[in-house]
Structure 1
C-alpha cells in the first residue's frame, strides 16, 4: 500500500509523475476527481490522495459543485513555482555572463 506524504513543498509534490499528469490535465480545465481518474492509470481514491498532496502544496484549489468537488490549479502556487524557476534562470544567466566577460586566463601548454 502506498502512502502519500503531504509535505507542503510544491517541488516535492511535483516529483511524482501521477501528480504532474494531474497538474497537466488541470492546466487545460478544472475537473472533478472522476474525470481525472478516467484519464489516469490509478484508482479514484488514489487520485483523491494525490489531489490532497497538491492542495497541501498550494498547487490546486477545490470548490463544491453539487455532490462533487471540482479541482483547478491555484494561480498563486503555480506563480510561486514560476518565480522560483525565473530566479534560478536569472542566477544561471548572470553566472554565465560573468564567466563570459571574465578576462581569459592564459596558461602555458606543456609540450
Structure 2
C-alpha cells in the first residue's frame, strides 16, 4: 500500500527554493546557504527527491581546476507539480485553533 505523507518543512523549503528558478541547475551548497540548513539535512533530502523522480541530478561539467566535481539539481515535471501543490498549501489559511478555555454557549 502506498503511503502518502506530507513533506517536512525542510523538504518543502528545498522544493520551493528549487521552484523559484525551475529551469536553473542548483548546487546543494547554494541551497544550504539560501535556506540556512546544514548539509546533513539538505543532501539527504536531495537524494530522496532524486530517488523519487522529483529531481534531476547531474555532475557539474564546468569545474574550475582544483575544485572537485559537484552534483547539480533541478526539478522534474513531477517535482514542479509537487512544488505547485506545496505552494498552494502554504498559501491556504490554516484552520483556527480552538481555545480550550472557551466553552460553547448553546443557543
Residue 4 (structure 1) aligns with: none
Larger Rg, first or second structure (1 or 2): 1
Q: Which structure carries more helix by proportion?
A: 1
Whole-Å separation in 2 of the counterparts to 1:32 and 1:79? 17
Q: Does 1:43 align with 2:38?
A: yes
Structure 1: gaps (5+ residues): 1-7, 86-111
Figure out how many residues of one structure are paired with residues of the other and give that number: 73
Q: Does 1:18 align with 2:5?
A: no
**TM, length-normalised to structure 1:** 0.54
Whole-Å separation in 1 of the counterparts to 2:36 and 2:80? 28
- Tell me by how many angstroms 1:74 deviates: 1.0
- Tell me by how many angstroms 1:69 deviates: 0.5
Q: What stretches of structure 1 move > 3 A for 4+ residues in a row?
A: 78-82
**TM, length-normalised to structure 2:** 0.56
Residue 69 (structure 1) aligns with: 71
The two structures, once aligned, show a CA RMSD in angstroms of 2.7
